[in-house]
Chain A
Amino acid sequence: MPVVQVEGVHKRFGEVEVLKGIDLSVESGEVVAIIGRSGSGKSTLLRCINGLEQIQSGRIQVAGHGLDASAHGLRDLRKDVGIVFQSYNLFPHLRVGENIMLAPRVVLGVSKVEARSRAEETLAEVGLAERFDAWPDNLSGGQQQRVAIARSLAMRPKVMLFDEVTSALDPELTGEVLATMERLAAHGMTMLLVTHEMAFAERVATTTVFMHQGKVWEMGPSAKLFDAPQTAELKQFLGGGLK
């Protein structure tokens, strides 16, 4: 059974229909890259998957949870779905380690010792073990983003969502974040990522989805999709920079 199953999802912001019937399913361990122009609905789709946006119709199932309207059900789903945002959003009043320990402590109710060991473990995973006691403000953007990834991982999610996580970073800091994600993918994490890093998508994603005008325009194994795009729109999107 797929970890993420999206069926016939429609989403409107007021009059504007942003998602016009999306079907998508992601198997365990799969890495799915979602690409497309700004305004194609790719970030919205990602945010619908953990209920940050409400859908008007359709069905979304994630890690065995239905996306129903109850606050309690939504919280259960979010325990299994991590998301990392473009703007890191670390808690500025807490040190790095405390940032990571907070949700496991408060939301999952794990012991302080367990939370601490999770924080140390996930920080090591993103290569920042020595920054446990640092303040977020004293880290570079790339480091903050890796802490944000560690913070999500400490909840032991079944799926990780990445929403343009390198878009706010200087080019030289992008690499360290992408390397962290690539390692995560290699360890078998199920991932959905909205990205503008085409080379990364082609190399790391098992499947790439091209969204256009609120629809899944084209999808398939990444290698095939990038090598031989079928639709004119994807050809234009991929080749746009070269002409």
Chain B
Amino acid sequence: MIREFTQSEFIFILSSARWTLLLTVLSLVLGGLFGFVVAIARTSRLAPLRLLAAGWIGVVQGIPVLILLFLAYYGLSMLGFDLPPIVAASISMAFYASAYLGEIWRGCIQAVPWQQWEASTALAFSRPQQYRYVILPQAMRIAVAPTVGFIVQLVKNTSIVSIIGVIELARAGNLVNNATFQPFKVFGTVALIYFAICWPISLLARRLEGKLNASRAG
């Protein structure tokens, strides 16, 4: 029997967006923390740490997110860790985010002129003090735009976890479409909800950037 695309279908789709949001927030927080460590390791003075971080970035960036997802979900269950799909999804998305954010932030740290390191070295700052008070505050300004760009990608890429049965926004749309055969209405709605999530993020970033620049010119 073919169902109509009614309010209840719409609410089903809309409410499934909570998994998209949850997944984005989880992978961003976990991946961000881990990515920060990766970025610091990547700019360390210790060669082994640099290599380790570069290796992590290279490996994760070289694997499709889908395969990371399969590894976390099917692979870990083979080893006896039976993870709920949402947990496996969060882990794989966090790994994915850690490599990309690590690489983005490495670039931002290295974009701070080397004279800033030298000036703070000459003022007897320790290495952690240099990061904390001189380098990272400047790197953060540079990081706003590319980081937001990545977050928007991340929101959209969470749709991939539908494949292991997490009913997030894209999967919910697919289910409703299978029942209603109204792809334009259904996926148009899904697209609008994605847009409603991503657009404010971009807006916020533009305002944040404007504010940071204004404080400098002030």
A151 / chain B contacts, CB cutoff of 8 Å: 123
Which residues of A from 61 to 88 have beta carbons under 8 Å from B? 71, 75-76, 78-79, 82-83, 85, 87
- Check B153 for interface membership: any CB of A closer than 8 A: no
B216 / chain A contacts, CB cutoff of 8 Å: 92-93, 135, 137
CA distance A52 to B123 in the complex (A): 11
The 8 A CB mask of A138-154 against B (1 = contact, 0 = none) is 10000000000001100
B125 touches A93 (CB 8 A): no
- Taking the nearest CB of chain A, how far is it from the CB of B116, in angstroms? 7
A135 touches B115 (CB 8 A): no
B137 touches A52 (CB 8 A): no
B126 touches A71 (CB 8 A): yes
Choose one: A52, A79, A91; the contact of B116 (CB below 8 Å). A91
- Check A184 for interface membership: any CB of B closer than 8 A: no
A85 touches B133 (CB 8 A): no
B115 / chain A contacts, CB cutoff of 8 Å: 85, 87, 89
Instruction: With CB as the reference atom, state the residue of chain A lying closest to B130.
Output: A106
B127 / chain A contacts, CB cutoff of 8 Å: 71
Instruction: With CB as the reference atom, state the residue of chain B lying closest to A79.
Output: B124
- Check B11 for interface membership: any CB of A closer than 8 A: no
The 8 A CB mask of B196-217 against A (1 = contact, 0 = none) is 0000000000000000000011
Between A71, A82, A89, the greatest number of chain B beta carbons within 10 A of the residue's beta carbon is seen for A89
A50 touches B122 (CB 8 A): yes
Choose one: A85, A93, A106, A152; the contact of B141 (CB below 8 Å). A93
CA distance A50 to B123 in the complex (A): 10
Which residues of A from 99 to 131 have beta carbons under 8 Å from B? 102-103, 106-107
A107 touches B138 (CB 8 A): no
Count A interface residues, CB 8 Å.
26
Choose one: B116, B126, B133, B141; the contact of A89 (CB below 8 Å). B116
CA distance A102 to B138 in the complex (A): 15
A52 touches B121 (CB 8 A): yes
Task: Indicate whether A83 sits within 8 Å of B125 (C-beta atoms), given known contacts A93-B216, A102-B133.
Answer: no
- Check A209 for interface membership: any CB of B closer than 8 A: no
- Check A205 for interface membership: any CB of B closer than 8 A: no
- Check B44 for interface membership: any CB of A closer than 8 A: no
- Check A155 for interface membership: any CB of B closer than 8 A: yes
A107 touches B125 (CB 8 A): yes
Apart from A71-B127, A103-B123, A151-B123, list 8 A-B contacts with CB within 8 A. Answer: A52-B121, A71-B126, A78-B122, A85-B115, A87-B115, A89-B116, A102-B133, A107-B129
| 25 examples of A-B residue contacts, CB within 8 angstroms | A50-B122, A52-B118, A52-B122, A78-B124, A85-B115, A85-B119, A89-B116, A89-B118, A89-B119, A90-B119, A91-B119, A91-B138, A93-B137, A102-B133, A103-B120, A106-B125, A106-B133, A107-B123, A107-B124, A107-B125, A135-B216, A135-B218, A151-B123, A152-B123, A155-B124
Q: Which residues of A contact B (CB under 8 A)?
A: 50, 52, 71, 75-76, 78-79, 82-83, 85, 87, 89-93, 102-103, 106-107, 135, 137-138, 151-152, 155
- Which 10 pairs between the two chains have the least Cβ-Cβ distance? A89-B119, A78-B124, A103-B123, A89-B115, A75-B124, A83-B122, A79-B124, A107-B124, A93-B137, A93-B138
